[in-house]
Amino acid sequence: MRDFGGTTERVPARVVRPGSADEVAAALRDAAARGRDAVPRGTGHSTSGRSLTGGVSLDMRGLGGVHEVGPGHAVAGAGATWREVLAATLPHGLAPPVLTDYLDLTVGGTLSAGGVGGTSHVHGTQADNVLALEVVTGGGPVTCSPTVRPGLFDAVRGGQGAHGVVTRATLRLVPVPERVLSCTVPCRDAADLLRVQREVRADHISGQAKPAEDGWRFEAKAVRYAGGPPPGATEAEELSFLGFADRMGPDVAELVALGEWERPHPWAMVLLPGSGAAAVITAALASTTPADLGLSGVVLIKALRVGRVPMLAAPTDPVLFGLLRTASPGCTPVAGMLAANQAFLDRAEAAGGTPYPAAPSA
């Protein structure tokens, strides 16, 4: 079995597809009795083998479904994808306040990572917007929330499955806008990009560095739910909320057709302290060539806010910086990309950064 990262393979002793929280509890008890690890797996879009095990692989997709949609909340199975959550909430004019850029990730999988989206500068992470969780640890399923078993609630959000299996989540919902205006704002450098992300009024904002003839060019995508484009915008496109939320769809179809989606993805992502972020990003990009990123690699830069998710150990005024590499033919081989990642992660950590998602042992 492999994951989206594609650099690690593990053969599980057993794959269990629980259909209920009680079946998760039984699978955990059985695995413990046999001295085996049990590792939950959503859609396996993580990297570095985080959803893989030589023990019992718990395929959480059997616990999908959206069970309830209320005025400000939805109750979803941990194995539901954000696409499935949206399909259930949009008819009510509601959506989770934070969506990942890609919708085919599970609720349990991204809550275990943290879940950063373009609205995270306003709303924090997806883990900040969970009202309650149903979790299975050693015994039967229990509920936790900021007021009920808060220690378990804090250990599981961002906890990479190490402190319990999430089986159900009560998610906060907010009204969706009628349309979004997605605008491109070119930026001079990493510092300018971070300034734009902090200063421009936007409901959703993200940033990328892209290879250019003379190095890297930087651009912010500022999205407004009302009003015109922000100052400095060179392009603006009006979209429906769903069209915007699912904007990766056409790119993914193209990457699948090109074979790039199946290739290894040695990704490195960190949360950097805002004060030193531009310097770390500039230094990292100075030693990164387009071949080190791969043909469909992406450099993500996103200033955000993390509320109270202790497992993320987020630095002050955090900036998500991701070198999302693809080991394309003719580019730097996987081993070179992994070595570059390790050197980068060491430098980022020395500058006060923390890996995102957090290391599973955290």
User: CB–CB of 285/190 below 8 Å?
Assistant: yes
Q: Which one, of 19, 13, 18, lies nearest residue 37 by Cα?
A: 13
Nearer to ligand FAD, 64 or 273 (CB): 64
Nearer to ligand FAD, 189 or 203 (CB): 203
- DSSP of 232-275, one letter per residue? T--EEEEE-HHHHHTTHHHHHHHHHHHTTTTS---EEEEEEPHH
Shortest distance, position 51 Cβ to ligand FAD, whole Å: 4
Residues making contact with ligand FAD (CB under 6 A): 3-4, 39-46, 50-51, 60, 78, 100-102, 105-106, 108-110, 112-117, 160-161, 165-166, 360
Angle at 273 between CA 272 and CA 279, to 5 degrees: 75
Length of the chain: 362
Shortest distance, position 221 Cβ to ligand FAD, whole Å: 13
Shortest distance, position 163 Cβ to ligand FAD, whole Å: 8
Distance in angstroms (rounded) separating the CA atoms of residues 103 and 85: 9
Nearer to ligand FAD, 78 or 202 (CB): 78
Angle at 206 between CA 237 and CA 114, to 5 degrees: 130
Radius of gyration of the chain (CA): 20
Nearer to ligand FAD, 13 or 191 (CB): 13
Shortest distance, position 276 Cβ to ligand FAD, whole Å: 22
Nearer to ligand FAD, 51 or 341 (CB): 51
Q: Which two tokens stand for residue 140?
A: 């039967």
User: CB–CB of 73/31 below 8 Å?
Assistant: no
Shortest distance, position 77 Cβ to ligand FAD, whole Å: 9
Rounded to the nearest 10 degrees, the angle between the axes of helix 334-350 and helix 274-286 is 150
User: CB–CB of 276/335 below 8 Å?
Assistant: no
Nearer to ligand FAD, 163 or 224 (CB): 163
In whole angstroms, how far apart are CA 307 and each of 116, 123, 132? 12, 8, 16
Nearer to ligand FAD, 320 or 331 (CB): 320
Q: Which one, of 357, 234, 253, lies nearest residue 296 by Cα?
A: 253
Shortest distance, position 251 Cβ to ligand FAD, whole Å: 9
Residue type, 356: Y
Nearer to ligand FAD, 116 or 209 (CB): 116
Shortest distance, position 152 Cβ to ligand FAD, whole Å: 12
Shortest distance, position 138 Cβ to ligand FAD, whole Å: 14
Helix (H) or strand (E) holding 350: helix 334-350
Nearer to ligand FAD, 191 or 322 (CB): 322
Distance in angstroms (rounded) separating the CA atoms of residues 137 and 118: 32
* DSSP β-ladder status, 56-59 and 38-41: parallel
Shortest distance, position 73 Cβ to ligand FAD, whole Å: 19
